[in-house]
Structure 1
Amino acid sequence: MHTTAIIDIGSNTIVLVIYQIDDTGLHQLYYQSIAAHLVACIQDRKMSEEGLQKAQKIIRGYLEKCQEMHVGDIYGDVTECGRNLVNQDAFLSAIKEAGLANVRLLTGEEEAMCDFYGTTLDCQIPDGLMIDIGGGSTEFVSFQNRKIQDAVSIPLGCVRLSAMKPDPSVSKEAIENMRLQHPSLSNSDMAIGVGGTIRACRKTVEAVKGNQQARFLTEDLLALYTGLKQEDPAWCKAAKENVTPDRLPVLVPGLGMLVAASQSFGIREFVSSEYGVREGFLLHFVLKRL
């Protein structure tokens, strides 16, 4: 049995996933996510010593787990938190000093592409839009006939937005500016959603609506966003019971980005994917299948 681990170093979380890979596909053997909030350790585009040490500590723990499980190959990806650092070399060196030698810093376009490649494992929608709301950035992919037309990342995610004006206007302005530069990002009734914000939205809507499915309507998103903003007891209780404690403080800002995207692109329905950048990174950069 061959096993491969991916350590995904993001703005909000650092995630370890261990996969068994065989002729039938990818099989998740182990998953662990730690809320590192590295984006909060960046000041004037510089990662603090606290952030470097935090990343190292988590990575060392993950590598110990990989050793315990006799993992064959270990790869790492770094997303938005490392992209625009003035001390980027120090950040990547700290990661390698922790023992993660095989690491790749993804461009915004590469991150968006990997997100989309990951969703192909469980979403068979031929045409539409993909959105991934992370801690420090949001990725958009427009696709037709299951092929990427354009892939873009903007440096606004749920953690960054939590320190800004708490409504969709900031996100909508950023999306509209992005679309001026990328006119091939087309409107779409349907969007594939990736990441913790969208999964939290789906689970909370399911708890209130009483149905279990991978889809939710934009009207449900708006009801959740308004309910949490107005501290409606039913929505707040559902969120508290279905969203992890580290995700709750940044849920409303993340939903604000999702509301802005739905308004800009005319989205009526979201399909939540269980996969994303880690699986796409594995498929594209490691296995070279896509």
Structure 2
Amino acid sequence: MKNFLQNKWSVIVLAIFSSILLGSAFPVLKVSYTEFQIAADDIIAKITFAGLRFLLAGIIVLVFLLIISPKSIIVTRRQFTVLLLLGIIQTALQYFFFYNGLAKVTGMQGAILNSCGTFFTVILAHYFYANDKMNWKKVLGLIAGFTGVIAANWGQGLELNFTFTGEGFMILSGLTSAVATIMAKELAKGIHPFAVTGWQFSLGAIILLLIGLPNLGENALTFTPFGWALFIYSALLSSIAFALWYSLLKYNAAGEIAMYRFIIPVSGSILSAIFIPEEKLTITTIAALALVAIGIIIVNSKVGQRDRT
């Protein structure tokens, strides 16, 4: 398995595949909101929906870990505290912002805005890692990336469209993701990557459900056969994508793998244009995608950073 995960072509194929899976979450969730008849302003319904999804995703990862490495699923009291903290920030808080923000922006906007997490991680890394300081190449990448994010929100009338509970929440989702990434790197040492993913998914999901289920309105979620298919796919895409991603990170340099994250906003935007009837790729969107992709590639290039493995 190690040789397979370190093979050049295996790395490329798996990194691209996992990035496309993560990108597909944007149109899938937008279509799910319509299929489940979730109102755009129904925060509780979206919290509950997110909790159900990530509880299933967490169980899938933990069951897989139980099969391949049963001892790795057991954690100490201190490790459980770390995983609970990650569950609160990386699952509960991040996806509170993500699910509620995505309901008020297009799938393409969401895919581009969510890429802020990559750029926030670079900024935070400057303060937390002595060997990962800011340099002119990273600054150039950040400028390109954030310019792309601004361009993604530029309206047809050349005005900047921004709402705190829409675009703002998507940016906050990226920020909480960046904070959790740094925390996981610092606090989750010695825990199997699949255990980190499975436990923090499950614990964060339980928190969301404890808040959501008691307050869920009648008929707030309407399950249909197609809705069930979307729900199961969304849980699978999270468990499979994160399992592949962490496996690649375990056996390869982080900088080499992270560069493929530019595919997430690109695939998310293209898939949104394909599967969401009212969304179309425009010159502005393509330009925004190009700037974000260039920014992600620059800040994760070998020349632009030292590896934090």
What TM-score do the two structures reach when normalised by structure 2? 0.28
Q: Hey, which of these two has a bigger chunk of helix by percent?
A: 2
What TM-score do the two structures reach when normalised by structure 1? 0.30
Q: Hey, which of these two has a bigger chunk of strand by percent?
A: 1
